[in-house]
Amino acid sequence: MPKVCTKDIIEKFELELISGEEGINRPIVTTDLSRPGIELAGYFNFYPAERIQLIGKTELTFTERLNDMDRQDRFERLCTDITPAIIISRGMEVPNDLVEASERESVPLLRTKQKTTRFSSLLTNYLESKLAPTTAVHGVLVDVYGIGVLITGKSGVGKSETALELVKRGHRLVADDCVEIRQEDENTLVGTSPELIEHLLEIRGLGIINVMTLFGAGAVRSYKRISVVMDLELWDQNKQYDRLGLDEEKMKIIDMDLPKLTIPVRPGRNLAVIIEVAAMNFRLKRMGVNAAEQFSNRLADVIEDSE
């Protein structure tokens, strides 16, 4: 199944379907749009037929200067078997030659009342969101003090229970068990919950609970940008854990490296508080305040003075 097809943009932007209804299920495979000005002038050597073709006032008024034969030829060459749609902006009148060509090739011919540049921006943003690279991660995503915290770890380590405690403390749940992640741009990963389990938490011994029903609409979010990964693991006495916070681990998701903290789990440790403090400390680091580096520099100064 394609991620997005012509029918989706018709419904999303309330576009008027002029002709080519048979092609409304054509897949859209790229976020790039094309304004076929040079093609309407007759140059089709590098015509990006797989893109949505957006025709504005400039392109449409130019075709009025063409003779009937050339105009009909250009419109026919615009309509290919892989062109997902041709969209006319500003609610302008559609030439009959273009209507006939789109009907013959089943290329949806659409019209919007919006200005060309504005509509181009809205459509590009929508397609980038829908066609972004995606993956799914086993874990829990929580919004803690505005920081998107992805909690990972082996099954049974206490991820959902920690998320429940965070929700009780006023933070917001995004997804439990399965986090769907899309990369919207080079430095942005956004996590959401699968529709089937949205707002639900699974607590062993208790079962499935609906967080929004129990704690209200303010306890959930539908999506959140992921800023940091906190990996829960059972305490290993033979393993050396970072005690200063100078070492920075990374976790690669799709094409992006996220900061990763490994938090050992054992009885008596309040994981919710630790994650809260870790989120606040992460915010401080982004603001340029690094307590570990400050301590290390002070320690180095003391050692230097003692020598």
Q: Where are the domains of the chain?
A: 6-130, 134-298
156 is in an annotated binding site: yes
Q: What is the pLDDT of residue 82?
A: 95
Distance of alpha carbon 267 from the chain centroid:
37
Q: Distance (Å, rounded) from C-alpha 53 to C-alpha 31?
A: 12
- Chosen CATH of 134-298 out of 3.40.50.300, 3.40.50.150, 3.40.50.2300, 3.30.565.60: 3.40.50.300
Catalytic residue of the set 90, 97, 177, 260 = 177
- 3-state secondary structure at position 116: helix
DSSP letter, residue 154: S
3-state helix, strand, coil in the chain (%, to 5): 35, 30, 35
Question: Minimal CA–CA distance to 83: which of 14, 19, 27, 2?
Answer: 27
Q: Among residues 178, 195, 167, which one has the least CA distance to residue 140? A: 178
What pTM was computed for the model? 0.74
Task: For the chain, give the longest Cα–Cα distance.
Answer: 92
Strand partners, 170: none
6-130 CATH fold:
3.40.1390
User: Is 177 assigned a catalytic role?
Assistant: yes
154 is in an annotated binding site: yes
Answer yes or no: 138 catalytic.
yes
The answer to whether 278 touches 230, Cβ cutoff 8 Å, is yes
Predicted confidence pLDDT, tens digits, the chain (307 residues): 458 999 999 999 999 999 999 999 999 999 999 999 999 999 999 999 999 999 999 999 999 999 999 999 999 999 999 999 999 999 999 999 999 999 999 999 999 999 999 999 999 999 988 898 899 999 999 999 999 999 999 988 889 999 999 999 999 999 999 999 999 888 899 999 999 999 999 998 889 999 999 999 999 999 999 999 999 998 877 777 666 666 678 999 998 999 999 888 888 788 999 999 989 988 888 887 776 677 667 767 777 777 6
pLDDT given for residue 243 in this prediction: 63
Q: Is 250 a catalytic residue?
A: no
pLDDT at 186: 81
The one catalytic residue in 26, 51, 159, 199 is: 159
At how many degrees (to 10) do helices 6-13 and 116-130 cross? 130
Query: Out of 138, 168, 250, 269, which one is annotated catalytic?
Result: 138
At 300 the pLDDT is 74
Does the active-site annotation cover 242? no
As a whole number of angstroms, the distance between CA 138 and CA 149 comes to 13
Selection from 181, 168, 184 nearest residue 140 by Cα: 181
